[in-house]
């Protein structure tokens, strides 16, 4: 759905998405890295379980919620990637303690 | 239900009853009046009123109430027993589910001294002459953990009372107002009352939108009752306090019981309360108080630590000076009643099913409510109710 423009070698940060290692660029938001990795959704809604993907990419819509390093309901579009970061999709309701 | 009032008796008045105050307490009484066919109006302030009904913690709470006035314990137990009936009637009338639950409630202690102080005060409460007897358990950590599996190691123990519960108080507020409309009660916002005169057996009430006339009035204006009561020969000394509440983001249901200072709502948020200050500006907020409340909450339930706080607010408690409800009727202006209490949520069934019919009949039942007269303020020193 999305492809990166520019030099592929610029992707020097390794993150983990649902257990798979993925390369991202320094400065990518988590959401941008998710989209670039080929995913077109990042969460299932708490009410109906519908898959949802990021919409606004600027912190407003809350449709980019993911679990980052064990903390659920994070807005992926507002968090820059970091080496070794572990990301899982937000599956329905925010779990307690995660 | 009683039959509607005779039109002849009230023909010179616009209304049988004017309830002054449209919060939970005034609305509960007005709903109870509408329910038995009384022609009723509710005179309320506007959206910016200091409204405890929108700031409260939504417990239906029994344990620890009534130290210094055993009648208050009995009155509270009665309300707890009748809450499900009120919720059912509102659901049938308005289709609004107020999510009333009565699984029992906990108070948790984070040190041995806290637990001991709690146990001693509950024992004193129960040993009062005339106190209503109800079950309450003092539990150690392991016993609490059986019912609250997520407690942290800092929880030393707690108390449990099977009569405690909670509701969604915002839905309850909405249900009452929907019900008022369905009963034909005239709800009048932006009608703050500046004067009340008792003339020729009726009450003339001054508001910015004109004069309202009624055969009877019920003062249910929260802390403002202090100012209104003397206009009709009544007395309502109040001692309001400010409280702060924190709300987390929604999370999966994890807590089956409400606590005195923490509960999970039907919608998944976790509410954390409740502080007490003498400040009376509800626009102010003290972060150090939030920090203490949040810290105690995460010591009780370490799993809360990673949840985000998404809202916080301050609210002004309606609080009679000694903490106990005031229900009284005027001797100099017959037909004028005053009603104020801290627990507008807990006591709502009594206001709807007990107080309202007494107002309609023109007199409070002093055998049941005599202890709540404001005359106590002239005869005895203020005590403490232990309001939660």
Question: How does DSSP assign B181-221, residue by residue?
Answer: HHTT-EEESS----EEEEETTEEEEEETTEEEEEEEEEE--
Report residue B157's pLDDT band, with 50, 70 and 90 as the boundaries. Answer: very high
pLDDT at B117: 95
Tell me the Cα Rg of chain A: 13
- What average pLDDT score do residues A3-32 get? 93
Q: How many CB atoms lie within 10 A of CB B156?
A: 18
Residue B277 three-state SS: strand
Mean pLDDT lowest among B71-80, B119-128, B203-212? B119-128
The two three-digit tokens of residue B274, written as one number: 């409740």
What letter does residue B5 receive in the DSSP assignment? P
pLDDT at B381: 54
pLDDT at B233: 97
Q: How many domains, chain A?
A: 1
| Reported CATH class of domain B104-163+239-317 | alpha beta
pLDDT at B349 over 60: yes
pLDDT at A47: 87
Query: Which residue among B268, B303, B304 sits closest to A93, beta carbon to beta carbon?
Result: B268
Cβ–Cβ gap B304/A96 under 8 Å: yes
Query: Which residue among B150, B252, B308 sits closest to A95, beta carbon to beta carbon?
Result: B252
Helix (H) or strand (E) holding A91: strand A86-91
pLDDT at A31: 96
Cβ–Cβ gap B150/A46 under 8 Å: no
Average pLDDT of chain B to the nearest whole number:
93
**Structural domain contains residue A51:** yes
pLDDT at B387: 54
Report residue B5's pLDDT band, with 50, 70 and 90 as the boundaries. Answer: very low
Q: How many CB atoms lie within 10 A of CB B292?
A: 13
pLDDT at B324: 97
Residue of B nearest to A69 (CA): B306
Q: Which domain holds residue A33?
A: 12-91
- Taking one residue from A and the other from B, the number of pairs with CB-CB distance under 8 angstroms is 28
- What average pLDDT score do residues B235-243 get? 95
Dist CA A17 CA A68 (whole Å): 10
Dist CA B354 CA B33 (whole Å): 10
pLDDT at B384: 57
**Structural domain contains residue A82:** yes
Gap from A86 CA to chain B (nearest CA, Å): 16
Q: What percent of chain B has pLDDT over 70?
A: 94
Query: CATH fold of B1-103+164-238+321-388, please?
Result: FAD/NAD(P)-binding domain (3.50.50)
CATH of the domain at A39: 3.10.20.440
Q: What does the buried/exposed string (b/e) look like for B94-103 if buried means 16 or more CB atoms within 10 Å of the residue's CB?
A: bebebbbbbe
Q: What is the pLDDT of residues B47-102, one digit of tens each?
A: 888 899 999 999 999 998 998 999 999 999 999 999 999 999 999 999 999 999 99
Report residue A1's pLDDT band, with 50, 70 and 90 as the boundaries. Answer: confident
Q: How many CB atoms lie within 10 A of CB B265?
A: 22
Report residue B129's pLDDT band, with 50, 70 and 90 as the boundaries. Answer: confident
- What average pLDDT score do residues B291-316 get? 94
The two three-digit tokens of residue B243, written as one number: 């409280």
Partner A contacted by B146 (CB < 8 A)? no
Question: How does DSSP assign B319-347, residue by residue?
Answer: -BTTSS-EEEE-SSSTTEEEEE-S-TTTT
Report residue B134's pLDDT band, with 50, 70 and 90 as the boundaries. Answer: confident
Report residue B11's pLDDT band, with 50, 70 and 90 as the boundaries. Answer: very low
Identify the burial level of B119 via C-beta atoms within 10 angstroms of its C-beta, where 0-12 means exposed, 13-18 middle and 19 or more buried.
middle
Partner A contacted by B307 (CB < 8 A)? yes
**Structural domain contains residue A53:** yes
Query: Which residue among A70, A71, A93 sits closest to B252, beta carbon to beta carbon?
Result: A93
pLDDT at B29: 98
pLDDT at B379: 67
Query: Which residue among B150, B250, B303 sits closest to A93, beta carbon to beta carbon?
Result: B250
pLDDT at B177 over 90: yes
Report residue A14's pLDDT band, with 50, 70 and 90 as the boundaries. Answer: very high
The CB-side HSE value for B180 (13 A sphere, CA atoms) comes to: 26
Q: What is the pLDDT of residues A67-81, one digit of tens each?
A: 999 999 999 999 999
Cβ–Cβ gap B306/A93 under 8 Å: no
Chain A residue numbers touching B307 (CB-CB < 8 A): 94, 96
Domains of chain B by residue range: 1-103+164-238+321-388, 104-163+239-317
pLDDT at B274: 80
Partner A contacted by B249 (CB < 8 A)? yes
Residue B93 three-state SS: helix
- B124 or B359, greater pLDDT: B359
pLDDT at B6 over 60: no
Helix (H) or strand (E) holding B248: strand B241-248
Chain B residue numbers touching A70 (CB-CB < 8 A): 306
**Structural domain contains residue A3:** no
Question: At CB < 8 Å, which residues of chain A contact B?
Answer: 46, 70-73, 93-98
């Amino acid at each position: 759905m999305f492809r990166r423009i520019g030099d592929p070698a610029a992707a020097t940060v390794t993150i983990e998405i649902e257990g798979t290692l993925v390369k991202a660029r320094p400065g990518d938001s988590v959401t941008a890295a998710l989209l670039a990795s080929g995913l077109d959704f990042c969460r299932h809604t708490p009410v109906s379980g519908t898959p949802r993907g990021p919409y606004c990419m600027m912190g407003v819509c809350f449709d980019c919620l993911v679990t980052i390093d064990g903390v659920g309901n994070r807005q992926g579009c507002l968090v820059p990637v970091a080496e070794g970061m572990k990301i899982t999709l937000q599956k329905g309701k925010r779990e307690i303690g995660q | 239900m009683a039959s509607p009032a005779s039109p002849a008796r009230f023909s010179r008045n616009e209304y049988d009853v004017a309830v002054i105050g449209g919060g939970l307490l005034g609305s509960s009484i007005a709903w109870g009046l509408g329910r038995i066919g009384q022609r009723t109006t509710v005179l309320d302030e506007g959206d910016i009123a200091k409204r405890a009904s929108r700031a409260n913690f939504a417990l239906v709470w029994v344990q620890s109430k009534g130290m210094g006035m055993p009648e208050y314990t009995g009155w509270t137990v009665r309300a707890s027993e009748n809450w499900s009936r009120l919720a059912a009637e509102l659901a049938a009338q308005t289709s609004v589910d107020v999510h009333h639950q009565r699984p029992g409630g906990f108070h948790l202690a984070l040190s041995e001294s806290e637990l001991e102080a709690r146990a001693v005060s509950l024992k004193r409460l129960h040993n009062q002459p005339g106190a209503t007897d109800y079950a309450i358990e003092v539990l150690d950590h392991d016993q609490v953990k059986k019912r609250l599996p997520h407690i942290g190691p800092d929880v030393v123990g707690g108390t449990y009372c099977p009569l405690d519960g909670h509701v969604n108080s915002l839905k309850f507020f909405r249900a009452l107002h929907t019900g008022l409309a369905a009963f034909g009660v005239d709800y009048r916002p932006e009608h703050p009352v500046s004067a009340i005169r008792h003339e020729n057996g009726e009450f003339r009430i001054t508001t910015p939108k004109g004069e309202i006339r009624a055969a009877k009035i019920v003062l249910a204006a929260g802390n403002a009752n202090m100012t209104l009561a003397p206009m009709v020969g009544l007395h309502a000394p109040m001692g309001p306090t400010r409280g702060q509440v924190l709300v987390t983001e929604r999370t999966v249901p994890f807590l089956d019981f409400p606590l005195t200072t923490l509960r999970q709502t039907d919608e998944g948020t976790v509410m954390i309360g409740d502080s007490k200050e003498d400040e009376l500006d509800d626009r102010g907020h003290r972060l150090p108080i939030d920090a203490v409340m949040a810290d105690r909450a995460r010591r009780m339930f370490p799993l809360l630590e990673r949840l985000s706080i998404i809202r916080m607010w301050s609210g002004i408690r309606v609080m009679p000076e000694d903490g106990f409800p005031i229900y009284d009727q005027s001797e100099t202006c017959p037909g004028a009643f005053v009603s104020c209490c801290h627990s507008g949520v807990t006591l709502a069934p009594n206001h709807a099913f007990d107080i309202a019919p007494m107002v309609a009949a023109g007199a409070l039942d002093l055998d049941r409510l005599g202890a709540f007269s404001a005359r106590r303020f002239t005869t005895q020193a203020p005590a403490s109710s232990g309001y939660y």
